[in-house]
Amino acid sequence: MLTIILNILLPPLAVFMKHGLGVTFLISLLLTILGWLPGVIHAFIVNGTR
C-alpha cells in the first residue's frame, strides 16, 4: 500500500526504496523531472514487475 502511494506522490523515492541507487532510480528521477506523469508510469511499471 505504501509503495502505491509513493508511486503516485514521489516516484523516484518509491523506485529507490525497492531497487536502491542505480540506473533504474536515475531513469525514474529523469522522467519525473521531465514530467510527473512519465515518472509515475515508470514507477508503476518497474515496481509492479519485480
Which among 30, 33, 29 is positioned nearest to 14, based on CA atoms? Answer: 29
User: pLDDT tens digits for 1-50?
Assistant: 888 999 999 999 999 999 999 999 999 999 999 999 999 999 999 998 65
Q: Structurally, how many domains does the chain consist of?
A: 1
Full-model pTM:
0.86
Range of the domain at 45: 2-49
* HSE-up (13 A, CA, CB side) for residue 13: 9
